[in-house]
Structure 1
Amino acid sequence: MGPDDEDNRWPPWLKPLLRESFFVQCKHHIDSHKSECNMYCLDCMNGALCSLCLNFHKDHRAIQIRRSSYHDVIRVSEIQKVLDISGVQTYIINSARVVFLNERPQPRPGKGVTNTCEVCERSLLDSFRFCSLGCKIVGTSRSYQKKRVAMAASDSEDSYSSSSNHRRSKSNNSNNNSNKIQSFSPSTPPPTSVNYRTAKRRKGIPHRAPMGGLVLEY
C-alpha cells in the first residue's frame, strides 16, 4: 500500500477538516452577530463557514463543529453518517455523544489506567484505540505501524543488551572480587640468609667477672 492508497482510505475532506481553525469571526459577514465560523462543507472543502455562509451551500453536506474545553468536537450522529469512527472513544457532552477531532495529550496517565491512545497516550476505556479522529488517521497509517514495530524491536534489543552487559559486569566483578580475596592472604616469603642467621643464633651462658666477689682489706 503506497501513500496514494493510504490517502484513498479516507474521504478527501477529512484531513482539511482536521487542519481547519473554527470559532473565528467570518471575514465575509463581520457585521453580523452570527459570524462565528462553526460549520464545514464536506463538498466544497473551502474552510470554516458561519451560518450565513450556508446560504451558498444549499444541498451540500455540511456539518457543525462544537466546543468542549477549548477542543473541537463533532456529534456522533452527524459524523458516523459519512465516516467510520470505530476504535475512536466517544464522550457524552451536553447530553450528546461526540468525538474529538484532534489529539489531546496528557502529561501522565491516571492511576490504574490500563489502556491509552496508541498515538498520544491519552487515557481511554479498554474498548477503544484512539482518542480522536486525527489519532486514528495517524495510528492506522502504514508508516506509523512500521515505526511502532521498529521501536518495539529496538526496545527488545536494548533490553537484551542491558541484560547481557549486566551479566558480564556481574561476572567480571566476581572475578575481580576473587582476585582481591586472594591478594588479602599473600604467601609467606622464604626466609632470607639474614633472617636465617637471626633465627639460629642463641644467647650464650652469662659469666661473672673472676674478682667480682673479692673484698680487699688494708
Structure 2
Amino acid sequence: MVGMESPDGGGGGMVRSEEDLGPPWLRPLLATSFFVACGAHPDLSKNECNLFCLGCTGHALCAYCLPAHRDHHVVQIRRSSYHNVIRVSEVGKLIDISHVQTYVINSAKIVFLNGRPQARPGKGVTNTCEICCRSLPDSFRFCSLGCKLGGMRWDPSLTFAIRPKRGQNSGDGSGSDDSFSPRKLRKTAAGGYELGRFDRAIRWSDDEGSRSNTAPITPTTPPISRCRPSRRKGIPHRAPFYG
C-alpha cells in the first residue's frame, strides 16, 4: 500500500494500492521519448524507436532491439499530430482506461499518452480535461493517460486497475491483441526485420507459414465465372395453317 498526497502537497491520509496507481511500467512509458533514431543501431535503416518493453521499462526500442527482449511484452507506439498514441487493443487489456477520451485513427481506436494543453478552449465548449483543459465530449474527464494519472492525486475513485466484470474471467484472453513477441518477427534477406508500410506494423511468421498481422477483415470477392450456361435449342413447331 502507498500513501497519495493531496493536491496542496500534504499527505491527505488517503491510502491507495499499487494496483490502483497503475503497473510499474506506466510512468516510464509516459516519460519515454519515442520516434528518435536508435542509439544502439545508428547505421541501420528504419531504426526509429517506436517500441517499448513493459518488462524492462527502459528506453524506447527499434525493431533491431527486439531479439534482446525475447519473451518480453512489447507494445508499439504510434503518432498522431506529433503526439504519441497507443492502440486501445494493446493497453486496454492491461490497465483501466475509463474516463479517458478515445479516438479512431486509421480504423483503430487509440488513446494519447500525455496531455495536449489548449490555451483557450473554443466557443461553446462545455467540458474540458481536468488537467490540461483540452476540450472534451461530456462523457470524458481526461484527454490522455497522463492526465488521468494526474487526476488520481485528488480523486480516490480513479484507478488503473482492471476490475473483472461479473461473470467474466479476467484472463480469458478474448479480444484482439496488437502486442507481439520478438520470436514472431520475420527476418529479411538483408538481415533486418520487416516493417509494414503505413503504420510500421510489424509483420511476423508462424508455424503455418508467413503471414501479416494486418490481414484484411472483409472477405475477398469470389472470382466471376466467365462460363455461360449452355442454352438448348427447342424443337421447332410449324404454325397452324388456316384455309
Alignment TM class, shorter chain as reference: 0.5 to 0.7
8 Å CA contact retained: 2:4, 2:153: no
Indicate which of 33, 46, 51 corresponds to 2:45: 33
- AA aligned to 1:105 is P
Q: Cα offset for 1:3?
A: 3.6
Q: Deviations over 1:38-74 (max 9, x none)?
A: 0000001111000111111121111000011110000
Q: Which runs of 5 or more residues in structure 2 are unaligned?
A: 6-14, 157-243
How many residue pairs were aligned? 144
Q: Distance in 2 between matches of 1:141 and 1:105?
A: 19
2:105 counterpart of 1:93? yes
Q: Distance in 1 between matches of 2:52 and 2:93?
A: 15
- AA aligned to 1:11 is P
% of aligned pairs identical? 62
* Structure 1 length-normalised TM: 0.63
Q: Distance in 2 between matches of 1:53 and 1:6?
A: 36
* Cα 1:7/1:15, change in 2 over 3 Å: farther
- AA aligned to 1:118 is E
Name the one with the larger strand percent. Answer: 2
* Cα 1:66/1:136, change in 2 over 3 Å: same
Indicate which of 26, 30, 37 corresponds to 1:14: 26
- AA aligned to 1:80 is G
8 Å CA contact retained: 1:34, 1:52: no
Q: Which residue of 2 aligns with 1:50?
A: 62
* Structure 2 length-normalised TM: 0.56
Residue correspondence of structure 1 range 138-153 to structure 2 within 5 A: 138-142=150-154
Q: Distance in 1 between matches of 2:106 and 2:97?
A: 20
SS in 2 for 1:130: coil
Higher radius of gyration, 1 or 2: 1
- AA aligned to 2:64 is L
- AA aligned to 2:59 is G
Q: Cα offset for 1:6?
A: 4.5
SS in 1 for 2:63: coil
Q: Distance in 2 between matches of 1:34 and 1:57?
A: 18
Q: Cα offset for 1:95?
A: 1.6
Q: Deviations over 1:2-23 (max 9, x none)?
A: 1495471211100011011000
Name the one with the larger helix percent. Answer: 1
2:138 counterpart of 1:126? yes
